[in-house]
Chain A
Amino acid sequence: MVLGRQDFVTVIRNAVAGVGLAPDIAMVVFPIDLFLVESDVGQVAHEADRFVDGLTRWRSAQSRTASRELPMLKVEGSDQLATFSEFNAMCIRRRWGDGLPLVPPTEDRVSWILRGTNLRRDNVVGKFMPRGGIVTMETLAIALAMAGGRPEYLPLLHAAVQAILDPALEHEGWQATSSSTFPVVVVNGPMAREIRLNAGFGLLGPDPQHPAGASIGRAIRLLQQNVGGALPGTGTMAMFGAMRYTNAVFAEDEEGLPPGWEPFNVGYMGYAKGVDSVAVNVASGADNIIRRGVGSETLDFEATSSLVRIATYMKSHNANSLPAHRTGTPGILLISRTVANQLAALGWSKRSIQEYLWEHSRIARGDLERSGMVAWMEHRDAGRMDEDPWPITNAPENIAIVVAGGSHPTHAFWMQTSIARKMTGAEIKRPAQWPALVASGAHELGYDAAG
């Protein structure tokens, strides 16, 4: 049985449902005030009888194993628009949406989306925790339909969800946490261009010229909530929300890579060149860093001072990046092709940039003690505890650098990691009918299929 807090009841029920139990575990809960620093936690012992009941007398409302399939739902209105409005009102009542209009997932719509795969619609992808809702290709198609997506986005969504459900990403934790987290999906390979996924100006959206990232990211968010149970305040305790309705789904600007720089999925994730793949991290922040100088500096000074400036953003007392200290990244750094090529022309490699940032983002032990970080570092088994100043990650090569963003020298972008222990990846598989899907998308959305 479970000792917990009142506000966490649904989180607890989701967690047990996710491991195959019925969602009604014996629990004794208290208001959060009881667990705050220096409060009287003795009341827990005063309620010992309730714990004894939970261990001896409690009975689950569901005593047999069972499976719950879902019937189709009828939606009615006086005309098409009224029916559409009623569908969206139903989504609000049932807590299925994100507060913005959704596309009704009718059989026609979902079947259209399923043209993006050759897998059977009941093919199981996995369970989305903590609630443990079963994700099938049909479930993905429903979410993508509701998010306003297209069939040619389905292979990428499938791969992204595979990477999210990879046990190494431990999604059951960041799905329910009180931190405000969102998945970041970095895409490599030629498919990104074919579906017009953004790698340049406005890549984090909103951008009507590159709708793929928004609808795929929104579909992921709907899966997180509807299937995984991450409803604000009851299923997820994210204090300030997940931040992004569309998460962050974008492509690396592979054409803009300096000579000799490997694509992110090759150098960092270990895929072969040319493979379509996703790499997923979990972030809780986004910082735009003005990196350039005022114009009177030398190019060399601008380069090094910009890296120092970036390092100051990275140099944060982020207890939530500690799980990633040994094998993950403290965050994802985006630099544009302009910046990457400028640095490369001055002799910087990706590795030398990582090393420079690693050294210049170290934090003095005294500061870590004053901020209470040392206790967190011990609690979360951070590495290099004996070093002063302490590096924010165990090794420079842990720092994820992706070339992406508008072709300007002015800014870099830092998305700090939250909770994820390490990045996960998955290859994107194309269905046999891929060329026809891409051509259809290009025609309907009014762009050249070659990009």
Chain B
Amino acid sequence: MEVFDPSGATEVTVAFAKRLDTLEGKKIGLLSNGMWRADQALALLKDRFQERYPTSTLVHIPARERIQSEEVIEAIAREGYDAVVVGNAA
């Protein structure tokens, strides 16, 4: 017999953003959902990035659980970040 695949079609509609050539001079957001010590981990990463790339601007964004909300996404777009590290998916 022939049967349907139950998993549903999927579609890729958006390409990933282009990677940066360097972090020097870039504005990088560290977006935290406040879970699983994301604030602490991203704060340490921010310090390490800053040591290594002194001309970059690093901003900790404490979005808490509304990390995927329209307000947060619009704010990130408005602030002109070159890249964002999101955490913690745990």
Residues of A within 8 A of B (CB): 1-5, 8, 11-12, 15, 17, 19-22, 25, 27, 32, 35, 37, 41-42, 44-45, 48, 51-52, 54-60, 62-75, 83, 87, 96, 104-107, 110, 128, 131-136, 138-139, 142-143, 146, 172, 222, 226-227, 323, 379-380
**B3 with A2: CB separation less than 8 A:** no
Select B12's contact among A20, A72, A172, beta carbons within 8 Å.
A20
Binary CB contact string for chain B from 46 to 57 against chain A (1 if under 8 A, 0 otherwise): 011100100000
Given A56-B19, A56-B22, A379-B65, A3-B11 contact (CB < 8 Å):
no
Contacts of A12 in B (CB 8 A): 89
Tell me the complex Cα distance, A74–B5, Å: 10
Select B1's contact among A15, A65, A75, A132, beta carbons within 8 Å.
A75
Contacts of B49 in A (CB 8 A): 48, 51
What are 15 A-to-B residue pairs whose CB atoms are below 8 Å?
Answer: A3-B88, A4-B90, A21-B12, A21-B14, A35-B37, A52-B52, A55-B23, A62-B12, A67-B12, A73-B3, A106-B2, A106-B3, A133-B7, A134-B9, A226-B6
**A83 with B89: CB separation less than 8 A:** no
How far apart are A417's CB and chain B's nearest CB, in angstroms? 16
Q: Nearest chain-B residue to A71 (Cβ)?
A: B5
Select A135's contact among B8, B13, B87, B90, beta carbons within 8 Å.
B8
**B47 with A104: CB separation less than 8 A:** no
**A222 with B23: CB separation less than 8 A:** no
Select B86's contact among A2, A5, A139, beta carbons within 8 Å.
A2
Contacts of A62 in B (CB 8 A): 12
**A63 with B7: CB separation less than 8 A:** no
B2-53 contacts to A, CB under 8 A, are 2-16, 19-23, 28, 34, 36-38, 40-42, 44-45, 47-49, 52
**B1 with A41: CB separation less than 8 A:** no
How far apart are A47's CB and chain B's nearest CB, in angstroms? 9
**B9 with A133: CB separation less than 8 A:** yes
How far apart are A238's CB and chain B's nearest CB, in angstroms? 15
How far apart are A129's CB and chain B's nearest CB, in angstroms? 11
**B41 with A21: CB separation less than 8 A:** no
**B8 with A128: CB separation less than 8 A:** yes
**B85 with A1: CB separation less than 8 A:** yes
Select B4's contact among A48, A52, A59, A70, beta carbons within 8 Å.
A70
Q: Which secondary structure characterizes the binding site on chain B?
A: mixed
Tell me the complex Cα distance, A109–B83, Å: 49
**A64 with B86: CB separation less than 8 A:** no
Contacts of A106 in B (CB 8 A): 1-4
Tell me the complex Cα distance, A106–B4, Å: 6
Q: Nearest chain-A residue to B38 (Cβ)?
A: A3
Binary CB contact string for chain B from 62 to 90 against chain A (1 if under 8 A, 0 otherwise): 00110010000000000000011111111
How far apart are A146's CB and chain B's nearest CB, in angstroms? 6
**B7 with A227: CB separation less than 8 A:** yes
Contacts of A73 in B (CB 8 A): 2-5
**A41 with B12: CB separation less than 8 A:** no
Contacts of A70 in B (CB 8 A): 4-5, 7-9
Tell me the complex Cα distance, A1–B85, Å: 5
**A48 with B2: CB separation less than 8 A:** no
Tell me the complex Cα distance, A56–B24, Å: 11
**B41 with A35: CB separation less than 8 A:** yes
Tell me the complex Cα distance, A221–B20, Å: 41
Tell me the complex Cα distance, A165–B72, Å: 22
Contacts of B34 in A (CB 8 A): 379
Contacts of B21 in A (CB 8 A): 56
Q: Nearest chain-B residue to A90 (Cβ)?
A: B3
Tell me the complex Cα distance, A67–B8, Å: 11
Tell me the complex Cα distance, A45–B90, Å: 17
**B3 with A72: CB separation less than 8 A:** yes
How far apart are A130's CB and chain B's nearest CB, in angstroms? 11
